[in-house]
Amino acid sequence: MKIEQKHNSKIPAYAAGAALVASTVLMTSCAIVGEITSTTTEEPQIDGDVVMVTEVSETCMPVTREYLENVSRNYTLEELQSELGSYHSYTNGKYYSWTMDDGSSAQFSFGEDGRISRIYIAGDERILIYSHDDSAAIGAVLLDFFTSFETSDYESMKKYCTMNCFNDFFHDNDVNGMISAKLTSSEDIKYKYTEDNKLEAYVFVTVDMEPSSDSALVGKTSTSFYVVLRQTENIEWKIKGFTTSL
């Protein structure tokens, strides 16, 4: 993913302090793994809004895809640096980049709470591991929604949905092409942050259902799809819609 460089003097507090703590983090928080690669102690180089950190006094754990696929969004910049060493660049006022062991780039941005909001691996955004367990609340919404769906009680179902869900998926005689649907199984929840920094949950479900006459599901008695839920301003979970892929 190519990120344009724009001048922005308003760097977050944790960015401004990052270069100052980088050497401390590297010298006190990292266990030495492999060879010492450099003992350079240059000042960060600033080119517009890109800060290049050139000091690499020792190697922390390698920045691997396996590590990135398992890191929680609960991490702060300082916690990442304690495990990975100093970031290599800071771009466009929000992206902190590390070079991975395969030569590609891993980019992190942080929310107002100082925790990870997005991770890009070689330009592709990955699903984040959410740090809180909301499975009980999300499970309750799904159970109530599909209990009503079994009897085609569309009005009751709307209580568990966003307004956009009403407009996009509800019709006079079906919801998402189904007259009725009974939940038969669901998989683990996956979480992701949207472009407007809203948290969404994806739950892959299988249902026994009755399709509407004009639905692409005609001829089938069961189907599987993701239920997409969004966390609202008052921290409630509502169904935003349905999709067949992430």
Residue 1 falls inside a structural domain: no
User: Cα-atom radius of gyration of the chain, to the nearest Å?
Assistant: 23
Q: Are residues 189 and 235 in the same domain?
A: yes
Helices (H), 17-153: 18-28, 65-70, 77-84, 135-150
Q: Are residues 93 and 161 in the same domain?
A: no
Last residue of a domain, one of 125, 150, 175: 125
Q: Collapse the DSSP code of 74 into the 3-class scheme (helix H, G, I; strand E, B; otherwise coil) and give the result.
A: coil
Name the domain boundary from 125, 151, 181.
125
Instruction: Please count the CA atoms within 13 angstroms of the CA of 84 that sit on its side-chain side.
Output: 25
Cα angle value 112/117/121 (rounded, 5°): 145
pLDDT tens string 65-83:
888 877 877 789 999 999 8
Residue 18 banded pLDDT, cuts 50, 70, 90:
very low
Residues 109 and 19 placed together within one structural domain of the fold: yes
Answer whether residue 7 is part of any domain: no
Burial of 67 (0-12, 13-18, 19+ CB in 10 A): middle
209/109 same-domain check: no
For residue 219, the model assigns a pLDDT of: 96
Q: Locate all alpha helices (DSSP H) within 87-231, ordered by sequence.
A: 135-150, 154-157, 163-169
- What lies within 8 Å, CB to CB, of 67 at 6+ separation is 61, 84
Domain that holds residue 181: 135-243
Examine the domain organization and report whether 41 and 74 are in the same domain: yes
CATH of the domain at 174: 3.10.450.50
Residue 32 Cα to chain centre, angstroms: 31
- pLDDT, tens digit, for every residue of 102-135? 888 999 988 877 888 888 888 887 766 665 678 8
88 and 176 housed in the same domain: no
Q: For the whole model, what pTM was predicted?
A: 0.56
Is 116 within a domain?
A: yes
